[in-house]
Structure 1
């Protein structure tokens, strides 16, 4: 039985799972690969020329590549929470990174309903591997309390900053990694263990419908890699070499996953969605951005902002024989569309009391048009709260509670170079109305700025991590 979240907001579509078909034939396997901080322009299929990504390029050639796929918002925890709950960041219970000591982040609340809840109720085996970041194991945000049968990887975002951590979690149990002290580069590369567990789980569960949320930490900083490979002798900085090697390692692991599905004979019954959790992470003037110039693909902005370069991420759908091969789609969709999409794919015949801001993408993924909607909405609570919305060709941004609203025409100005707010008063009023309607008040996420308790807990969390690492021998 799915846990339920009650919203009384007219903008939300109400779905209900009253009758779900028995598990069995006709239900596709579903894999969502969420790469931490990969950008559109990091991949060859989006124009990157210096980093090799042959497997993701093949995935794009055999599937559909999206130019306007939007993340939940532009930092880790709230983007993941939007994906898992089907709620945009005006309704989602997590709307910013909220650190908790000694380990973990603000947990999903007990009444949250997730994609994994829905698919488990529909008879799917479910697993999350990689990075969770939505609550520690002794809280309501425990992944094993939110629909997942199995978890392997990092629970905490702070721990996931190291690719040579002291331990990973296998379900609730710590798996200690040989030669790693948590402070310096060690012997055991975490992604190797995470990839191995992921492939093993797919092999063990391919005979029945399964859902895998593969939340890969690559290429998030720190930029650490166990093997620089083909980039070792490049005339680049150490960080630039490591970043390129991280992207290619990510590509290699995607190739192994696709090859495993093909070997097992289930590729034609498996939908993979590959995506970043936000758009570009770097300024074009940064050490990484200046070399790998394609990161934002000509769009303005990067991580922690709400311009298009921060919100549009790399996204590819692959389902041989179902998702059109070689298609490039410009119509927009967003992370909160994933929940209603999987409900349709799982064969939900009717829906009751499970809420979502999203719309099913099944028809769109199969070659049709994207679903129509009134607007997309984002907010982010990192320092001063910021808001943005897209309605039709119009995009509006409000960079702080007291800031003037900016307005852009994405059809003629996708780089958001000219603010049209002074000359388009009606559209400014429409955007302001959307922002007011889409924001549901939440004690943790007031539009006036960070609460005292959030600041206090965040400082305590980082101090606990620092003290623990300093005490490690």
Structure 2
């Protein structure tokens, strides 16, 4: 029995789907028969599947850069499945993560609130775990979909709640009927962990680990089971088991994140089961491991798309692939070899686009346009409104979320609402803020709340190399005014400027 309260009840048939069935039948007796059949997976068939709200599979890579995929310009690492996904779907060229590091980015993704409004605004670490946990009043994408009749699951890395002081954020308290993976993000550094969690029960694994700290982090000295292999198997099982009802799968991979502890101890944080096609390359092992992680990830996505086709689910499943922030440099690998940020400046922990602009590929045969590229500017927070619209649900109040359904369905650009501003902040090494205005003008403030805005014109300068604030003082002033009011107060996340002002 679980020792934590969990809200995992989810009706098999949403009100929207039920009313659709009633509308289609001629008599009350037939209506009751249809409803009973809909409740029983044994009576489901492809025609019933095609008429319900779409399944949603949200695949999140960890620390994958804008330039890490072939379809985004990668020349060294092979990603044939994701490249094919882009050819068969829609590729975004200006899509942004919620933050430049893990936990706040995922908080934005789940809550539909931008970085200055969402619950978790930084990586709190072990010293203040409750600051990195969602709370009962937070409404997530999973909760909205669960209440709309979706079967929901989180497989992989969570990072927004843990046992102990952070139990308010456990996944099953926020709309996930099923969970398998890592609760603690430092635990997730180790790709061969000693244990994982299934719901709130600890599952022991045969890996032998040298622990570093008390939260599951460390590195394997006997590496038997690779966590992301287990997650891929679990994701496939979930899709097959729930094919007769609408489902939402949040598949949150750990690769290609580094094992930071292993890097410090053994100088190689890219531990994988094998180096795959890179085994014979004349590269250092960290480079082979980094490339192998990305190609392995690509293989997982290929398995999922093939399963959806085989199960007759492809035409009724939206699959979205993206990354939680920009690329890392923490495996001791050579960034110059892979150019993971592509034409952008910066990496993870930067507020330039290299730290926050990420790949986004959407695939939904028969619905999402094929082989199309869009420059529509969007970000993680938009997934809540998008999922709500697809499910026929209401977007929760007080969100910073705009549905992407018009763009996903290839409708004219005039039908797609846009954000005036996107917002980010960063709490490490002195508070910093950034905003994107009108999809073009990037403003960054560091040092103090009175500091001048560094302004970049992304249409002319995608690498953000030239500060043009002096040429466009009105735009810099507009962004500065926005930054002054963009964030709500949070007792857990008070700005601490490097210049000493608050």
Cα distance, 1:68 vs structure 2 = 0.4
Secondary structure, aligned partner of 1:73: coil
User: What TM-score results when the alignment is normalised by the length of structure 2?
Assistant: 0.82
- Where does the alignment leave 5 or more consecutive residues of structure 2 unmatched? 1-6, 8-13, 19-37, 39-50, 211-218, 260-269
TM-aligned CA deviation for residue 22 of structure 1: 3.8
Which of 222, 237, 258 in structure 2 is aligned with 1:221? 258
Is the 2:142–2:176 Cα contact (8 Å) retained in structure 1?
yes
Unaligned stretches of 5+ in structure 1? 4-18, 451-473
The answer as to whether partners of 1:90 and 1:439 remain within 8 angstroms in 2 is yes
> Is the Cα contact below 8 Å between 1:384 and 1:401 reproduced in 2?
no
The structure 2 residue matched to 1:192, chosen from 213, 229, 253, is 229
Classify 1:141/1:449 alpha carbon distance in 2 versus 1 (closer, same or farther; 3 Å). Answer: farther
Alignment of 1:75-224 (within 5 A): 75-100=101-126, 106-137=132-163, 139-182=167-210, 183-185=219-221, 186-222=223-259, 223-224=270-271
**1:246-325 equivalence runs, <5 A:** 246-282=293-329, 287-293=333-339, 295-325=340-370
Q: Helix, strand or coil: the match of 2:208? A: coil
Paired residue secondary structure (2:154):
strand
Q: Is the 8 A contact 2:436 2:443 kept in 1?
A: yes
Aligned: 1:362 with 2:405: yes
Query: What whole-Å deviation, never above 9, does each CA across 1:104-138 have from its counterpart, x for those lacking one?
Result: 97210221000000000000000000100001145
What do residues 297-343 of structure 1 show as CA deviations (whole Å, max 9, x unaligned)?
11111111110111110110000111111111112100000000001
Aligned to 1:313, what secondary structure does the other structure show? strand
In 2, are the aligned partners of 1:33 and 1:272 still within 8 Å (CA)? yes
* Cα distance in structure 1, aligned partners of 2:404 and 2:143: 19
Output the CA distance in 2 between the equivalents of 1:413 and 1:57. 26
CA–CA separation in structure 2 for the residues paired with 1:400 and 1:388: 12
Assess if the C-alpha contact under 8 Å between 1:107 and 1:134 holds in 2. Answer: yes
- The answer to whether the 8 Å contact 1:104/1:133 transfers is no
Distance 2:254 2:398 in 1: 29
Confirm whether residue 382 of structure 1 aligns to residue 428 of structure 2: yes
Does structure 2 conserve the Cα–Cα contact (< 8 Å) formed by 1:374 and 1:391?
A: yes
Secondary structure, aligned partner of 1:67: strand
Name which structure has the greater RCO, CA cutoff 8 Å, separation 6+: 1
Distance 1:236 1:396 in 2: 38
Q: Contact (CA 8 Å) 1:219, 1:243: kept in 2 or not?
A: yes
Q: Which has the higher Rg, Structure 1 or Structure 2?
A: 2
Q: Give the 3 Å change call, closer, same or farther, for CA 31–105 of structure 1 in structure 2.
A: farther
Aligned length: 428
> Does the 8 A contact of 1:126 with 1:147 survive in 2?
yes
CA-atom RMSD in angstroms: 2.0
- Tell me the TM-score normalised to structure 1 length: 0.87
Q: Give the match for residue 462 of structure 1.
A: none
